Amino acid sequence: MKKLILFIAILVLAYYIFYNQFYVNGKFNDFLAKYPQSKYAQIVDYILGWICSLLGKTDSAIFRFQRVVEIYEVENLKPAALYNIAQSYEEGKKEKKLALKFYKLVYEKYPDTYYGDLGKKRYEYLILIGVRED
């Protein structure tokens, strides 16, 4: 029982430190402001989107993931970012039609990737349960 309490206390402390240092204090945003052309800028935006998703800040997550897709030329995180945008719309904002659009986009644009495959499966599932494109 003591180990469980200690483990939970460590998790809460880690969450607080992570949240306080990187999200509230804006350490990542400072990095992006100083080094917008850095080869790590895309990764920082992606991580910020992921943090926002975990914190339930759906609009901020979508904003960050859209930056990954629109601003940076490197393609390695774009399929994951598009898939996360779709998930944010589906689960966070409960807008299944917009999610459907992004799932379709990720599997059409990146068909041979892991996220392209996931996007196709999720798209087919939403069509199956009756969500329709407009």
- How far is it, in rounded angstroms, from Cα 69 to Cα 82? 7
Output the CA–CA distances (angstroms, integers) from residue 90 to 52, 87, 94, 129, in the order listed.
15, 5, 5, 13
- How far is it, in rounded angstroms, from Cα 108 to Cα 103? 9
Contacts of 95 (CB under 8 A, 6+ apart): 89
Contacts of 113 (CB under 8 A, 6+ apart): 79
The Cα angle at residue 113 between residues 128 and 124, in degrees rounded to 5 = 5
- How far is it, in rounded angstroms, from Cα 133 to Cα 101? 7
Per-residue pLDDT of the chain (134 residues; tens, 9 = 90+): 777 787 787 777 666 666 666 665 577 777 888 888 888 899 988 988 988 888 888 999 999 999 999 999 888 899 999 999 999 999 988 899 999 999 999 999 999 999 999 999 999 999 999 888 77
From the number of C-beta atoms within 10 Å of its C-beta (0-12, 13-18, 19+), residue 10 rates as: exposed
pTM to 2 decimal places: 0.80
Contact 68, 46 (CB under 8 A): yes
Give the per-residue pLDDT at 126. Answer: 93
